């Protein structure tokens, strides 16, 4: 989106003066025609380009952007929180519903499948209809699902409504990323990363602790009542204060959009202001550009199709996603099995104490987040000097392919040691749990696994975006799909594997799987640049062909 807006600004700045006069005359006629009408709803493309040439990327102040991004990040907190808050209660749920641990783990599996697929559809809707409508629909569905789960009386209803719960929460992470892209330029995006990382880092570890406390003292049903109450409060806040940010709807934020795109606070202020507000609005229209009402937005399958096309036709991206998805599957193989494993080994452990076992992963994740970002930046600059890019301008995006920049090596040199740490932890985890005779060794290993797995995934995610500059959103959606589907498989098979071959050999098998997919990274480093050049050549040929068809 930022690139599209920048292109529009450049085109507008080169517009001849006669065209500018035409725009001014057109705007004046529109003001005369709509003097008694409502102010503009949506910025059409041609007028948007001219408008943005004279205004900043977003009308929101620095603090305004921070509050908007923070609100989007809090909303994104619900997806990973919902996935993890449920885990300490799995043993109690299995007992209450009279099913095995393996069957109860299927509720985790189905949640993850929907968590991977749904964002690809919601993304298309949000791009067409706006972020606010998407948020509202998601949270209404999510709240209803939590109420249904709290009232569930059969395993079948729990399984089905859990899918509905995932449908409501899954897209919030993708919507958060879209909101950031709407209001923040690439040059200033780094200072907002801390907000967006919080839900991913904290929710997986805080969730089990909260879930354990609720399950222990109030009963497992209160997990879902808690989520419903929390989501309702968040929905009220979104209704009242969260502005529409989709640039297709509101441009830089100065256009109003339809009624659903306005905050209740803005509507209330306008209503209370009465005639005074109308007079001020009429006066301001004398110097503002007026635009026609928008056409009804249509649902788009483009994000889904683009993600699938990228996943199956871009060889480099496919290898990276399969590898990082396998690493993520190992993460779920450990975290999903913790309640049943430790309840068997230590029957005296309460749900709260089992929930506390997830905190070391949080500590490791936070440590990785602090270390990995600066390390990736340092290694990027080191390789930039080697290829002759002496001065790295953070405000300008370098074409990595044309510059012959070895971005694969720059990212994976940081990720590879962390991957090695993850393999060692995975290899020793099962044996430590089985034979250590205490909780100290497992807690240390969980901390180290958080460092290794989260750190490696940070470098892999950076590489995914780096090699997909024109389709970063689709690439992220494809990565989300891959990780969730492989994680769902791992959560489904882990308990049967533990029962069949024991803890030590089960996680040795996963460590072997980690080793088996590692050569994919070596191939990516060796052939990545060539694949990028071939991909760019194909995309350029498609672009020229489309331009030729349009001109004819």
Q: What domains appear along the chain, each with residue ranges and CATH number? A: 57-276 (1.20.1250.20), 303-545 (1.20.1250.20)
The pLDDT of 41-68, averaged and rounded, is: 60
Contact assessment for residue 491 and residue 276, using Cβ atoms and an 8 Å cutoff: no
Quick one: tokens of 122?
A: 């919601």
CA distances from 415 to 97, 198, 319, 347, 408 (A): 43, 21, 15, 38, 10
Q: Does residue 189 have a pLDDT over 80?
A: no
pLDDT at 100 over 70: yes
Q: 221 by DSSP, 3-state: which?
A: helix
Give residue 1's pLDDT: 41
| Assigned token pair, 391 | 């001065």
Greatest mean pLDDT among 122-131, 254-263, 379-388:
379-388
Supply the DSSP string of 141-154, one letter for each residue. HHHHHHHHHHT--S
Torsions phi, psi for 392 (to 5 deg): -85, 110
Model-wide pTM > 0.85: no
- Give the Cα separation of 198 and 65 in Å (integer): 16
3-state helix, strand, coil in the chain (%, to 5): 80, 0, 20
Q: Tens of pLDDT along 229-286?
A: 999 999 999 888 888 888 778 777 667 667 777 777 777 777 777 645 554 554 444 4
Go through the chain and tell me how many residues it has.
552
pLDDT at 149: 94
| 459: its two tokens | 């470098």
Of all residues in the chain, the percent with pLDDT exceeding 70 is 74
How far are the Cα atoms of 160, 327, 504, 516, 525 from residue 513, in angstroms, in the given order? 31, 9, 14, 5, 20
Label residue 42 by pLDDT band (50, 70, 90): very low
**Arithmetic mean of pLDDT over the chain:** 77
């Amino acid at each position: 989106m930022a690139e599209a807006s920048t292109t529009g600004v450049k085109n507008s700045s080169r517009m001849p003066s006669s065209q500018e006069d035409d725009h001014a005359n057109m705007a004046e006629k529109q003001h005369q025609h709509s003097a008694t009408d409502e102010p503009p709803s949506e910025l059409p493309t041609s007028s948007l380009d001219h408008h943005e040439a004279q205004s900043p990327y977003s009308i929101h102040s620095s603090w305004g952007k921070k509050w908007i991004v923070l609100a989007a990040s809090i909303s994104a907190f619900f997806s990973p929180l919902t996935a993890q808050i449920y885990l300490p209660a799995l043993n109690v749920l299995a007992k209450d519903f009279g099913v095995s641990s393996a069957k109860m783990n299927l509720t985790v599996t189905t949640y993850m499948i929907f968590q991977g697929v749904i964002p690809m559809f919601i993304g298309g809707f949000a791009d067409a209809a706006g972020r606010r409508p998407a948020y509202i629909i998601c949270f209404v569905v999510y709240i209803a699902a939590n109420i249904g789960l709290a009232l569930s009386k059969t395993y079948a209803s729990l399984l089905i409504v859990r899918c509905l719960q995932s449908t409501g929460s899954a897209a919030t992470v993708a919507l958060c990323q879209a909101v950031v892209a709407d209001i923040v330029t690439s040059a200033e995006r780094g200072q907002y990363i801390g907000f967006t990382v919080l839900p991913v880092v904290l929710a997986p570890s805080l969730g089990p602790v909260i879930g354990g406390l609720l399950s222990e003292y109030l009963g497992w049903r209160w997990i879902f009542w808690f989520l419903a109450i929390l989501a309702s409060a968040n929905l009220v806040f979104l209704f009242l204060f969260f502005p529409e940010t989709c640039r297709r709807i509101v441009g830089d934020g100065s256009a109003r959009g339809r009624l659903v795109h306005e905050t209740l606070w803005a509507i209330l202020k306008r209503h209370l202001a009465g005639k005074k507000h109308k007079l001020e609005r009429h006066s301001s229209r004398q110097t503002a550009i007026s635009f026609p009402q928008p056409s009804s937005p249509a649902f788009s399958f483009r994000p889904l199709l683009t993600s699938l096309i990228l996943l199956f036709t871009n060889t480099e991206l496919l290898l990276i996603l399969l590898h990082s998805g396998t690493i993520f599957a190992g993460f779920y193989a450990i975290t999903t099995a913790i309640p049943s494993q430790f309840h068997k080994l230590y029957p005296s452990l309460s749900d709260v104490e089992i929930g506390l076992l997830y905190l070391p992963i949080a500590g490791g994740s936070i440590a990785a987040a602090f270390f990995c970002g600066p390390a990736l930046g340092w290694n990027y600059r080191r390789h930039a000097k080697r290829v002759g890019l002496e001065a790295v301008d953070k405000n300008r995006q370098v074409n990595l392919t044309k510059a012959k920049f070895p971005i694969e090596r720059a990212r994976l040199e940081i990720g590879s040691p962390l991957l090695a740490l993850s393999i060692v932890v995975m290899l020793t985890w099962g044996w430590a749990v089985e034979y250590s005779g205490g909780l100290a060794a497992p807690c240390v290993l969980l901390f180290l696994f958080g460092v290794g797995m989260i750190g490696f995934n940070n470098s892999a995610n950076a590489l995914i975006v780096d090699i997909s500059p024109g389709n970063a959103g689709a690439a992220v959606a494809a990565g989300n799909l891959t990780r969730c589907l492989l994680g769902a498989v791992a959560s489904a098979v882990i308990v049967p594997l533990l029962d069949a071959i024991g803890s030590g050999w089960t996680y040795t098998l996963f460590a072997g799987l980690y080793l088996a997919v590692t050569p994919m990274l070596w191939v990516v480093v060796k052939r990545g640049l060539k694949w990028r050049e071939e991909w760019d050549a194909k995309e350029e040929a498609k672009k020229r062909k489309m331009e030729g068809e349009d001109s004819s």
